Amino acid sequence: MGGRLSSDSLGLILGILAVAGFSVTLPATRVAIIYLDPMIVGLGRALIAAFFAGMLLWLTRQPWPTRSQFKGLLLVALGVVVGFPLFSAFALQELSAAHGAVIVGIVPMMTAVVGAIMLHQRPSVGFWLVSAFGSGLVLWFSFGTGADGLQRADGYLLLACLAGAVGYAKGGQLASDIGGWQVICWALVIVAPFLLLPVGWSVVEHGLEAPLSGWLAFAYVSLVSQFFAFFLWYHGMALAGVVRVSQMQLLQPFMTLVVAALLLGEMITMEMIGFALAVMMTVAIGRHMPIKQR
């Protein structure tokens, strides 16, 4: 008779499902910015998501965040609602989705570091070694298989990675207190009024003309990347911990490359598959490494 999934196992499953949702973000962004200004794609998607977030909070009668929770939610908003979407949109004006995917592969290590500092956790030496090895594989893949070396726009991507890591870590911490989906909903609602002016200016300057493919891509980053995937992500972190669940994102570059191949015609090689399998092994090993509370 099978037992129920443990909290850790369920949290990791939710993390993987969230990463699957996030993995389409860069290719979809790359499609959307062909037709729409990066400011509209990067920040406008938050306004769309904020509408649904506000409706959900109102319909479920969620209590207002406390002052300390509000400060944390503002940090989440600056990281994953403003910072990562905007910086990545600017970067993808010059970079391919594949290039972006492999550079974003360093986010798990950044999130682990930020999470350990914020949450006063002490991952074991083995955890750090496995995480560093996984991140090293991603970077090796980046520079060794057609990522063309570092480029100017990589600076935007690195800022996006740092912003995302901070937003992930703080959101995971808050999720244990107010709930996973509530975190992203409140973060969206809090920051939305400040996005109206820059998004409105961009609409006036650049317009909103795009074919169906552009609008479908924008709809994806608005409703999945910026909204539903975070429900799973933050709930997974609340169950299994920020540091451990963050390592599931090591799989994202390879999921993204598959999506980029399907949407943008990029080729998948045996070398790519080999790196993906190696990174998956580091995720599996890292799951069993101890993480202590200070």
CA dihedral 63, 65, 66, 69 (to 10 degrees): 150
Among 95-99, 190-194, 253-257, which range has the highest average pLDDT?
A: 190-194
Q: Are 266 and 257 in contact (CB under 8 A)?
A: yes
Where residue 46 falls among pLDDT bands split at 50, 70, 90?
very high
Nearest to 271 by CA among 142, 149, 105: 142
Residue 221, pLDDT above cutoff 70: yes
pLDDT value of position 114? 83
Residue 279 lies in a domain: yes
Residue 2 lies in a domain: no
Where residue 98 falls among pLDDT bands split at 50, 70, 90?
confident
Residue 113 lies in a domain: yes
When divided into structural domains, the chain yields a total of 1
CA dihedral 30, 34, 37, 40 (to 10 degrees): -50
Average pLDDT of the segment spanning 231-239: 91
Nearest to 190 by CA among 25, 79, 89, 86: 79
Residue 169 lies in a domain: yes
Nearest to 103 by CA among 87, 123, 126, 114: 87
pLDDT tens for each residue of 102-154? 778 778 878 888 877 777 777 788 878 887 887 788 777 766 654 455 567 77
Neighbouring-strand partners of residue 122: 292
User: By residue range, what is the domain housing residue 238?
Assistant: 7-293
Share of the chain above pLDDT 90, in %: 50
Residue 75 lies in a domain: yes
Model pTM?
A: 0.85
Alpha-carbon distance 179 to 168, whole Å?
14
Residue 259, pLDDT above cutoff 90: no
Residue 50 lies in a domain: yes
For 211, left (φ over 0), alpha (ψ -120 to 50), or beta?
Answer: beta
Q: Are 241 and 14 in contact (CB under 8 A)?
A: no
Backbone angles phi, psi at 219, to 5 degrees: -65, -40
Residue 137 lies in a domain: yes
Residue 1 lies in a domain: no
For 62, left (φ over 0), alpha (ψ -120 to 50), or beta?
Answer: beta
Q: Say which residue the tokens 């999130």 belong to.
A: 111
